[in-house]
Structure 1
Amino acid sequence: MQQTENLNIEAFEPMPTPEEIHARVPLSDAAAESVLAGRRTLERILDGTDPRVFVVVGPCSIHDPVAGLDYARRLKKLADEVAGTMLLVMRVYFEKPRTATGWKGYINDPRMDDSFHIEEGMQKAREFLLAVNEIGLPAATEALDPIGPQYLGDLIAWVAIGARTSESQTHREMSSGLSAPVGFKNGTDGSLDAAVNAIISASSQHSFLGINMQGRSSVVRTAGNRYGHLVLRGGGGRPNYDTVSVALAEAALDKAKLPHNIVVDCSHANSYKKPELQPLVMHDCINQIADQRKAGHRSIVGLMIESFIEAGNQPIPADLSQLKYGCSVTDACVDWATTEKMLREADAALRGVITNPNPA
């Protein structure tokens, strides 16, 4: 009989189950408390009962866990300093979508040499997330692989669905079962429809194929996630963080009968992928937030910043020992000094309009 399937498959290699990876890197009490505290605060911000702003800030992608944890320790100190006005959530991205080719991230290729030791990458990613949470920082990530949350979801406080995947039924279904709030980015053309529809879809119950903790194919039935919200990242050749764009986003949410919960990504198309413009975007948004609060309403509840120890980015060299410490290998970032300045200035500007008697 002629073969008709798996014609382009070279091999099937066994992957440890989520249960096995969890057993190798178990959730600690300290990490669990950090995750739950982060989620609870994010939910209160999205419900409107916590007046603070949350900021997802960190490297474009994690490639060096030593530098990543160095960054996390710095960020924790800053998070404590600005806790009266902002909740800082560390950006911990392990998966990178690619238009054509390129490094797909720490899980897919942890050795950065096209050896694709995914089983190793998944365990190391979990180890890194555990360490970040034990430092006392909640973590945020982008969900690309629908199987990944079974391995890492218990360590995540906030999830992003990217501009290229907000329209994907698979990602909307997955989001409906996630335990953390989910931000859906507007399309790469700047349109809001896909993200708004994704919020509605993810809030509903779904049934779809997935895996359970034992790695067995399962019908996954979800309850729906009511903490979906909109992320403005610019697109179609222009930013969309200005007051007119925010007003249009509010109108789109009104039409869909959704809460006014908007996050502005200071990077990507909103800064034309120029990291030096991120402080200007943030400054504008902080002014908008202050004006909104003074007027007695709110819609911008969060911000996103791509930030690392060193500014800019670098190509991945053949000799990995030549990598510059604390510098992104994907999108360019602002450096740590700029990050401190951005967040301290935001804290000073918001201190008079945000009153939070219990920042813990």
Structure 2
Amino acid sequence: MELLPSYKELKSQFPASASQDNFIEDCRETVKSILNGTDKRLLLIVGPCSIHDFHSAKEFAFRLKCLAESLSPHFFILMRVYCEKARTATGWKGFLYDPLLDGSNQLLLGIKKTRQLLLELCDLRIPAATEFLDPLTAYYYEDLISWGSIGARTSSSQIHRQFASNLQIPIGFKNGIAGNISAAVQGAYAASQPHAYMALHENGWPIATQSKGNLDTHIVLRGGETKTNFDSHSISEALARLSHANLPERVLIDCSHHNSNKKHEKQPIVFQSIIDQVLAGNSFIKGLMLESHLYAGNQPFHFNPQELRYGVSITDSCLDWNSTQTLIEWGAHQLQENLNPSKKLSLSSESLFSSMICTKLKR
């Protein structure tokens, strides 16, 4: 057994500066504006299935920053920074729990390194998105997150719904693994309402608390075990369910997981379909998610970090960076053509410029 510091103690060791706090607040407000329709851009959440290596995560962030800046008229890009991983049965539970990748499960070190990584991303001006898997660990770093999700395995959880209702962060509820969207819709509704529940004070004491409700909840369609749900009919059905629940009609589409049949090379099919639907006039689609890493695919993991290939996922398979950049630039080009056909995006020159800047940043 190891006694952990309170949230307040840990945050005092790794504090966010006023500049970092302001950056996070601005990013959250931008996400809310997109969800509410006052900002017409699309959210784009891009990054590894899971973070397992500090250095490859930083390199990915450098590259993403350059792309995000060049395509900001059309996308507000956040980095997927998932340091906890939900497991159907057993397995590696994420960087936060086992940061040394050796089964030693040094949780305190994982919490510290997770917060350090998020602070560095703030300095790079890269907004972070994550899944909140365990409410107990979430308060160590939730102040550094710009968008959060409640995953397919926990959308039905009352504990997670209560937790989400007390966050000042836009929260997306994913449909269940089987594909049923009821859990997501009900989760988004429940989290939008006030709740009385037990939580931990920042000093570590158990307290009775009252949430105000989170008005920035929404749903994320990620497909199910027997069918995808990124097609126009499935999205229309989801929007109708939201309307029936008196919730804002807005969805994000996860291009990975069961929408791609867990095959990373199929993510572009989903992405292109969603861009086409947006261009056809569906303004209720507010964004997309892509699982992407430096290199394609994934690799087996056996608690021996020396054997791992750099920049390759150890959980779900991911698109490689070059394919990701090409795909996102294609999407921006399509959106630009629809908005102003006479004004072309010089994607090739932007890509070259991004490459030059990223090379300098990595030095």
| Inter-partner Cα distance in structure 1 for 2:162 and 2:253 | 24
- 2:228 maps to 1:243: no
Moved more, 121-130 or 148-157: 148-157
- 2:187 maps to 1:198: yes
Cα shift at 1:82: 0.6
Given that 1:89 and 1:137 are in contact with CA atoms closer than 8 Å, whether structure 2 keeps it comes out as: yes
Cα shift at 1:220: 2.3
Structure 1: any 5+ residue segments left out of the alignment?
Answer: 1-11, 356-360
Residue of structure 1 aligned with 2:267, choices 258, 269, 278: 278
Distance change in 2, residues 1:31/1:180 (3 Å) = same
| Inter-partner Cα distance in structure 2 for 1:192 and 1:317 | 35
Cα shift at 1:348: 0.6
Tell me the percent identity.
Answer: 42
Given that 1:173 and 1:208 are in contact with CA atoms closer than 8 Å, whether structure 2 keeps it comes out as: yes
State the AA in 2 paired with 1:331. D
1:6 aligned partner: none
Q: TM-score, normalised by structure 1?
A: 0.92
CA RMSD of aligned residues (A): 1.2
2:345 aligned partner: none
Cα shift at 1:240: 0.4
- 2:338 maps to 1:349: no
Structure 2: any 5+ residue segments left out of the alignment?
Answer: 341-363
Cα shift at 1:268: 0.2
State the AA in 2 paired with 1:180. I
State the AA in 2 paired with 1:111. L
2:199 aligned partner: 210
Write out per-residue CA displacement over residues 244-275 of structure 1, whole angstroms, 9 at most, x where no aligned residue: 11111111111112111100000000000000
Cα shift at 1:189: 1.3
Moved more, 236-245 or 85-94: 236-245
| Inter-partner Cα distance in structure 1 for 2:124 and 2:20 | 8
Secondary structure of 1:147 counterpart? helix
Cα shift at 1:318: 4.5
State the AA in 1 paired with 2:138. P
1:302 aligned partner: 287
Residue of structure 1 aligned with 2:159, choices 129, 150, 170: 170
1:103 aligned partner: 92
User: Hey, which bits of structure 1, 4+ residues long, moved more than 6 A?
Assistant: none
Secondary structure of 1:151 counterpart? coil
Distance change in 2, residues 1:189/1:177 (3 Å) = same
| Inter-partner Cα distance in structure 2 for 1:236 and 1:340 | 29
| Inter-partner Cα distance in structure 2 for 1:136 and 1:351 | 24
| Inter-partner Cα distance in structure 1 for 2:314 and 2:303 | 13
Residue of structure 1 aligned with 2:174, choices 181, 185, 205: 185
2:312 aligned partner: 327
Cα shift at 1:148: 2.2
Aligned residues: 340
- 2:73 maps to 1:88: no
- 2:303 maps to 1:314: no
Q: TM-score, normalised by structure 2?
A: 0.91
Write out per-residue CA displacement over residues 37-81 of structure 1, whole angstroms, 9 at most, x where no aligned residue: 210110001111000000111000101011101100100000001
| Inter-partner Cα distance in structure 2 for 1:354 and 1:30 | 34
Given that 1:167 and 1:198 are in contact with CA atoms closer than 8 Å, whether structure 2 keeps it comes out as: yes
Given that 2:188 and 2:218 are in contact with CA atoms closer than 8 Å, whether structure 1 keeps it comes out as: yes
1:43 aligned partner: 32
| Inter-partner Cα distance in structure 1 for 2:199 and 2:42 | 34
- 2:46 maps to 1:62: no
Distance change in 2, residues 1:30/1:354 (3 Å) = farther
Write out per-residue CA displacement over residues 2-38 of structure 1, whole angstroms, 9 at most, x where no aligned residue: xxxxxxxxxx420111111101111023322321121
